[in-house]
């Protein structure tokens, strides 16, 4: 009987609670004394239990490899050559303020990890079973001092995390400094319009800022809630209908920074991108000078044909080209669309082929796009493309 119990325990400890009670039942239901057959079965069960323990030991070794493998996968994922979308390499004081909190919390969690894992490993080694006995260890319930400690300690850690977090929340919500460059941003399904009141500039999907000068973004929405996010500049901040939110930052390094709407806003939310260029002061002024001038009437005959088609085919219902009768602001501003690197809110390179494809069938590029698909001949589209590409 003792052996049966042992086998039962062995089976149970090997994670086999079902096989062992079976043996127990067989031997008792048949009212057999610990006879030969029962003993044979028990030995068999103990043997299986041993085998199971070997398997478990093996799988435990395999488990040991999991953390390094996961770490390797993470490192490999970090090897992405395109760092345009990283938040941990900020180029503004705004981004750095957020990064600083992130780094502080990171080190707090590293310390907590080391302490907790250290205690765990210590306990595993110190209190592991040193004999083959499978007796239950002494069970401990309640330890007032320990319970007080593990309630107070996390509270203290939370305070250490909360103080810099709240301080940063207030710091990044501060008013823009005097002399900041104001840019009004309007999010639409699924593109961005930008307005520079100081320069009288209106543009879309491509935003230029001068390095070293504070920028004061006024964020509004034309329809639903969007979120302005340029990972390397900082963010995110929502664009809420009937409300103006603000972001202020100073770009510290010239460069091209990738932006993306960060709040689900409908079918093509993932295709609502934009680009920020931080220019040195000279090239910013040059860009601004060009942007604020009205569109120049084309001379090339095909482009002239395109200009007429643009005004008559229905495009003016939604688009604005400064210096022409097209003055609607439902769609993106097109006054200098030929100068932009991308079209369709960062989705397509601004090539004549892509622009023709877009005008022919916007919804095939961007599901649900709110630009009308007009019935135009290939010649009309080619002429319009020649016109728009010439709007430098």
Instruction: Verify binding: residue 369, ligand HEC, rule CB under 6 A.
Output: yes
What is the distance between the alpha carbons of residues 371 and 265, in angstroms, rounded to a whole number?
16
What part of residues 251-290 is at the interface with ligand HEC (CB under 6 A)?
Answer: 268
Nearer to Cu ion (CB atom), residue 226 or residue 319: 226
Going from the C-alpha of 175 to that of each of 104, 212, 388, the distances in angstroms are: 25, 17, 39
Cis previous bond, 236, omega within 30: yes
CB of 369 to Cu ion, least distance (A): 13
Nearer to Cu ion (CB atom), residue 222 or residue 338: 222
Q: Going by DSSP bridges, is the β-strand pair 181-188/215-221 parallel, antiparallel, or unpaired? A: parallel
- Quote the tokens at residue 68: 């390094």
Instruction: Verify binding: residue 371, ligand HEC, rule CB under 6 A.
Output: yes
CB within 8 A of 384, min separation 6: which ones?
306, 309, 310, 313, 315, 359, 376
Nearer to ligand HEC (CB atom), residue 23 or residue 344: 344
Nearer to Cu ion (CB atom), residue 258 or residue 287: 258
Q: 343 touches which of ligand HEC, Cu ion, none (CB within 5 to 8 A by kind)?
A: ligand HEC
φ, ψ at 180 (rounded to 5°): -70, 150
* Number of residues in contact with ligand HEC under rule CB under 6 A: 30
Nearer to ligand HEC (CB atom), residue 211 or residue 318: 318
What is the distance between the alpha carbons of residues 371 and 316, in angstroms, rounded to a whole number?
12
Reported in sequence order, the residue ranges of the chain that DSSP labels E, i.e. its strands, are 181-188, 191-196, 201-204, 206-210, 215-221, 226-230, 234-239, 245-249, 255-260, 273-279, 342-343, 348-349
CB within 8 A of 84, min separation 6: which ones?
231, 232, 256, 257, 258
Q: What is the DSSP string of 143-185?
A: -HHHHHHHHHHHHHHHHHHHHHHHHHHHHHTSPPPTT-EEEEE
Q: Which residues pair with 161 in a beta bridge?
A: none
CB of 73 to ligand HEC, least distance (A): 35
Q: 261 touches which of Cu ion, ligand HEC, none (CB within 5 to 8 A by kind)?
A: Cu ion
CB of 229 to ligand HEC, least distance (A): 17
CB within 8 A of 253, min separation 6: which ones?
91, 211, 278
CA 184 from chain centre, in angstroms, equals 25
CB of 115 to Cu ion, least distance (A): 42
Nearer to Cu ion (CB atom), residue 239 or residue 288: 239
The binder of ligand HEC chosen from 217, 343, 356, 391 (CB under 6 A): 343
What is the distance between the alpha carbons of residues 330 and 316, in angstroms, rounded to a whole number?
10
Instruction: Verify binding: residue 217, ligand HEC, rule CB under 6 A.
Output: no
The binder of Cu ion chosen from 226, 273, 340, 357 (CB under 5 A): 226
- Residue 135 DSSP one-character state: P
Site map 302..341 versus ligand HEC, x via CB under 6 A: --------x--xxx-xxx----------xxx----x--x-
Q: 226 touches which of Cu ion, ligand HEC, none (CB within 5 to 8 A by kind)?
A: Cu ion
Instruction: Verify binding: residue 272, Cu ion, rule CB under 5 A.
Output: yes
Q: 209 touches which of ligand HEC, Cu ion, none (CB within 5 to 8 A by kind)?
A: none
Q: 344 touches which of Cu ion, ligand HEC, none (CB within 5 to 8 A by kind)?
A: ligand HEC
CB of 319 to ligand HEC, least distance (A): 5
Instruction: Verify binding: residue 190, ligand HEC, rule CB under 6 A.
Output: yes
Q: How many helices (H) and strands (E) does the chain have?
A: 10, 12
Using CB under 5 A, list all residues that contact Cu ion.
226, 261, 265, 272
Using CB under 6 A, list all residues that contact ligand HEC.
190-191, 204-205, 268, 310, 313-315, 317-319, 330-332, 337, 340, 343-345, 355, 359, 366, 369-372, 374, 384, 388
């Amino acid at each position: 009987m003792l052996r049966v119990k042992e086998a039962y325990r062995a089976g149970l400890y090997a994670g086999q609670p079902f096989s062992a009670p079976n043996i127990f039942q067989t031997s008792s239901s048949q009212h057999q004394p610990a006879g030969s057959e029962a003993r044979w079965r028990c030995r068999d069960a103990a043997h299986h239990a041993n085998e199971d323990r070997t398997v478990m030991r093996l799988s435990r070794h395999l488990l040991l490899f999991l953390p390094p493998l996961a770490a390797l996968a993470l490192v490999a994922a970090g090897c992405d050559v395109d760092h345009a979308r990283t938040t941990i390499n900020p180029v503004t004081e705004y981004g750095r303020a957020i990064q600083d909190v992130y780094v502080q919390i990171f080190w707090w969690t590293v310390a907590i990890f080391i302490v907790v894992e250290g205690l765990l490993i210590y306990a595993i080694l110190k209190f592991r079973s040193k004999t083959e006995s499978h007796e239950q260890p002494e069970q401990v319930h309640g330890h007032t001092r320990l319970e007080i400690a593990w309630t107070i300690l996390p509270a203290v850690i939370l305070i250490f995390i909360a103080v810099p977090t709240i301080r940063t929340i207030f710091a990044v919500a501060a008013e823009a400094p005097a002399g900041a460059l104001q840019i009004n941003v309007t999010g639409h399904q699924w593109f961005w319009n930008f307005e520079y009141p100081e320069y009288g500039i209106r543009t879309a999907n491509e935003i230029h800022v001068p390095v070293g000068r504070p920028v004061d973004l006024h964020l509004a929405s034309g329809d639903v809630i969007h979120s302005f996010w340029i990972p390397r500049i900082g963010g995110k901040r929502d664009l809420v209908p009937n409300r103006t939110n603000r972001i202020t930052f100073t770009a510290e390094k010239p460069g091209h920074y990738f932006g993306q709407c960060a709040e689900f806003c409908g079918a093509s939310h993932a295709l609502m991108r934009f680009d920020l260029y931080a220019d040195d002061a000279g090239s910013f002024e040059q860009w601004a000078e060009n942007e604020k001038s009205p569109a120049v009437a084309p001379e090339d005959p095909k482009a002239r044909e395109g200009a007429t088609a643009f005004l008559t085919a229905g495009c003016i219902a939604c688009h604005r080209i400064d210096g022409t009768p097209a003055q609607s602001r439902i769609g993106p501003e097109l006054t200098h669309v030929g100068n932009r690197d991308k079209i369709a809110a960062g989705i397509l390179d601004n090539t004549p082929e892509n622009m023709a494809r877009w005008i022919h069938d916007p919804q095939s590029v961007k599901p649900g796009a709110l630009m009308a698909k007009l019935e135009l001949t290939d010649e009309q589209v080619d002429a319009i493309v020649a016109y728009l590409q010439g709007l430098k």
